[in-house]
Amino acid sequence: MKQLVSILCLFFISNAAICQTDKSYLIDISKDNIAIISNHLKLGTHTNVKDETFDANSFYFIRNGKPWFPVMGEFHFSRYPKEQWEASILKMKACGIDVIATYVFWIYHEEQEGIWDWSGNRDLRYFATLCAKHHINLFVRIGPWCHGEVRNGGFPDWLLTKAKTRTNDSAYLGYVKPFFNQINQQLKGLYFKDGGTIIGTQIENEYRFNNPKGLQHIFTLKKMAVDAGIDVPYYSATGWPGSNIKQVELIPVQGGYPEAPWDKKTTKLALSNNYLFETLRIDQTIGTDLLGNQPKDTTNFSGYRYPYATAEMGAGIQITYHRRPIITAKDVMGLAYAKTGSGANLMGYYMFHGGSNAIGKLSTLQESKTTKYPNDYPIINYDFQSPIGEWGQLQPSYKSYKMFHYFLNDFGDKLAVCNTYFPSQLVNKANDTTTLRWSVRAKQNSGFIFVNNYQRQLQLPDFKDVQFNIQLKNGNILKVPQQAITVKKDAQFILPFNLDIASVNLVYATVQPVCKLIYNDELVYVFSEIEGVNAEYCFDAIGIKSTEINNAVIKKTDKHLIIKLVNADKNATALLTLNNGKKLRIVTLTNQQALNAWKATILGNDYLLISDADLVIDDDKIALQSTDNTCANFSMYPAINSLSFSNQKNITSHSDGLFISYTINFTEKKIPVFWQQDISYNAADVGKKIDTSNPFFYPLYGSSLQSIPSAKYYKITVPKNTLQDLSNAFLKIDYEGDTQAAYLDGKLVADDFYSGVPMTIGLNQFVNSLPGNELTLLVTPLKDESKIYFEDGIREPLIGKNKAQINSIKIIPQYQTIITGFKLLK
């Protein structure tokens, strides 16, 4: 009998490895009875003049009648130059963002009572028009109170003395009404119902409405917005610190951050549970600076009336004066994998694009302790360490997000309907280093395995001999893969199983789905290798007529076709001809190629582009931008031999398998920068005095240049032709101290709280004012007695030195060429 069992087990191993096995990596997906409620939410007009629709049930969002997984990124139009909005919208779109969220800060538009300002960088209508032009949906967060690390949470100063804010006080509502009316005047005609792309509105923020008064107030605000004309398919409200989960007027949205710089502590914080696969949907630390510690969320989500939606997944974090964490790509991607693998059906990020605070007519506009808020933030800097930085620069997390978002864009319709399943051995403590963190999202035996072997500020080990065991509805166990793998430390990935692609069943694969394209009669599916794991595909043989492979080997059984790659590469392909006449091409990229991959739709055609440069993709052209590198590589499939590259003569190209590859060599531009210390300010020594009785101190610089004791001043001259033949140039300032502030003509234009990372200033925002003029830099010293949290190894070298100095300054060029010549393909 034992021999027979062994023989049967071996038989099943050769046929997609279905057999009973060790339960250490076991998830049971046999129960798939999700009770979905439909047509119960009382939202806005969800059909437009073209008969397109946006809707939602209690489980997922719906677009034109099909499941939809939205990818939403926050970008504050009023914190960025109007003339650069369009490029930024295109950068977000190229990263797989299909919804942009933005705040409307009341203080930016009515700083002085009765005087409205919707001009320049405050031009909401123009921003909404650009989103519509590029087919990006817009979610407007109208407050009235927003937070956003803005002065008074966005309330104008004058309002605070005239009404009891954030209540149904008649005086307060009387001031809110014209504000909402003004917003509608900006957006009128651009709503989804009118053919525009404004699909959502968030009411208030961080507001408790799990009590009668709170619920009444937030319903009143929603009604006022609707009465003003703000009619959208979706209305939302933040689901923290507490929300009523029986109401049907607002979709609660959740969040989670990699750090909590608003926390009063200046030591390392407890490890975050946001990196775990779990049922908890709310980051307990959000809002604790204003609301105090929150009780643990004990919500029973059975019978939940809304999709699991997020609006504030931290795509970075803004440092405060007393906490200065450095956030990595792994820090933020761990959150995205964990929350999506835990059931989220909308990934909404705060912030996806950084920016700069304006200087108001009456005051600075950042949150600070002087306005009785708990934190001091930089006056100008709101970089947020986001994927797109304060100056429009793409930061390392951008590429990681891009790869993840392409998966959500192209496979999200399948993912959105999937239930969430957790393993029998579930990690429930962030300090657990002995159990692998994984989950499954599945429906009807088909789904995705999510792995996040990463925890910020804790080293997780490699996990060897890992084989995922999925118990199917018929009781069988699907083993993924056939042979056990090693899950490397810091690994974050998604594996498909029983995935229908072009009517063929992919039983499993040891690669991550990236995107899919259509070219001629071929369906092209693109995957990425996983570090340390051999790329392998196992298909059901039924339906496959023939196979052509490159850089791979094939193993056939009675039931399955197994393709094992020798090495992953953009030309490691398999072409499957199906019995139904369709052709299915599988492309397997290396992890680095996948990070450098861009999916583009140009003139109606899909392209897979691979480039180590940054690409800004428009409807008929691409701006290729290379920062501090005179050589850029650009490969494309399908291949076009007749592309044109503006202002470039030194270009080579060659056929590269499926692709055509171009090499662009830019003419190097070395930009000198002249700087020296200026001692004239130190001689005056008439500035602010430090209150040494306060161990937390505070930022000493202001919006106007002044003398500060112990500070050092430097003069920088940027050459007049700095930006000639460039798309941008970045001033990189390596300094040591407490803070650094940059002044042009005596006015503050940029600032930074020292965290060990050089300060960056994008020069194309000052194209008409800075080149040829002097920039003054003010560096204040870091005092030993100040209580400030730094990452390990940052502060220790400065102890006892009272340092305030600049070590080096350089200008980093960003080269650009515009690629045209795309044509309609068959």
CB 524, CB 585: distance < 8 Å: yes
Give CA separation, 689 vs 133, 693, 728, in Å: 52, 12, 39
Confidence check: pLDDT of 693 > 60: no
**Do the domains spanning 2-33+413-591 and 674-816 agree at the CATH topology level?**
no
Residue 586: closest CA among 661, 534, 514, 520 = 514
Q: What is the pLDDT of residue 709?
A: 87
Cα(first)–Cα(last) distance of the chain, in Å? 61
The Cα–Cα gap between 138 and 197 comes to: 6
Confidence check: pLDDT of 21 > 50: no
Weakest mean pLDDT among 61-75, 230-244, 560-574, 681-695: 681-695
Q: What is the pLDDT of residue 751?
A: 99
Q: What is the pLDDT of residue 726?
A: 97
Q: Average pLDDT for residues 556-572, to the nearest whole number?
A: 95
Residue 768 — pLDDT band, cuts 50, 70, 90?
Answer: confident
Q: What is the pLDDT of residue 7?
A: 33
For residue 616, the one-letter residue type is: V
Q: Which residues have C-beta within 8 Å of that of residue 161, sequence separation ≥ 6? A: none
Strands 61-63 and 66-68: antiparallel
Q: Average pLDDT for residues 766-772, to the nearest whole number?
A: 82
Percent of the chain with pLDDT over 90: 87
Give CA separation, 675 vs 264, 731, 756, in Å: 38, 12, 21
- pLDDT tens by residue, 616-628: 999 999 999 999 9
The alpha-helical segments, DSSP class H, found in 531-610 are 591-595
Instruction: Give CA 312 to chain center in angstroms.
Output: 10
Confidence check: pLDDT of 290 > 70: no
- pLDDT tens by residue, 81-99: 999 999 999 999 999 999 9
Q: What is the pLDDT of residue 10?
A: 35
For residue 179 the two structure tokens come to 């504000």
Segments making up each domain of the chain, as ranges: 2-33+413-591, 54-397, 597-669, 674-816
For residue 375, give the DSSP letter.
Answer: -
Confidence check: pLDDT of 75 > 80: yes
What mean pLDDT value characterizes the chain? 93
Give the HSE-up count for residue 501: Cα atoms under 13 Å, Cβ half-sphere.
33
Question: What region does 697 belong to: left with phi over 0, alpha with psi -120 to 50, or beta?
Answer: left
CB 700, CB 739: distance < 8 Å: yes
Q: Average pLDDT for residues 583-590, to the nearest whole number?
A: 98
* Other beta carbons less than 10 A from residue 702's beta carbon: 16
The Cα–Cα gap between 391 and 396 comes to: 14
Confidence check: pLDDT of 772 > 80: no
Q: What is the pLDDT of residue 287?
A: 59
Residue 789 — pLDDT band, cuts 50, 70, 90?
Answer: very high
CB 660, CB 641: distance < 8 Å: yes
- pLDDT tens by residue, 295-353: 555 566 677 899 999 999 999 999 999 999 999 999 999 999 999 999 999 999 999 99
Tokens 């003010």 locate to 778
Instruction: Give CA 547 to chain center in angstroms.
Output: 38
Residue 792 — pLDDT band, cuts 50, 70, 90?
Answer: very high
Q: What is the pLDDT of residue 823?
A: 85
CB 393, CB 38: distance < 8 Å: no
Please tell me whether residue 87 adopts helix, strand or coil conformation.
Answer: helix
DSSP per position, 118-165? -SGGG-HHHHHHHHHHTT-EEEEEEESS--TTBGGGG--HHHHTTS-T
Give CA separation, 589 vs 458, 461, 572, in Å: 30, 26, 8
Q: What is the pLDDT of residue 694?
A: 52
Q: What is the pLDDT of residue 688?
A: 46
For residue 524 the two structure tokens come to 């092209």
Weakest mean pLDDT among 6-20, 39-53, 389-403, 691-705: 6-20
Class of domain 2-33+413-591: mainly beta
CATH number of 54-397: 3.20.20.80
> What element of type H or E holds 330?
helix 329-341
Q: Average pLDDT for residues 113-142, to the nearest whole number?
A: 99
* Other beta carbons less than 10 A from residue 683's beta carbon: 8
Q: What share of the chain is helix, strand, coil (3-state, %, to 5)?
A: 20, 35, 45
Q: Average pLDDT for residues 813-819, to the nearest whole number?
A: 98
For residue 381 the two structure tokens come to 């800097």
Give CA separation, 618 vs 25, 88, 361, 600, 764, in Å: 45, 11, 37, 9, 20
CB 673, CB 718: distance < 8 Å: yes
Weakest mean pLDDT among 197-206, 510-519, 686-695, 788-797: 686-695
Confidence check: pLDDT of 681 > 90: no
Q: What is the pLDDT of residue 285?
A: 66
CATH number of 674-816: 2.60.120
Q: What is the pLDDT of residue 698?
A: 82
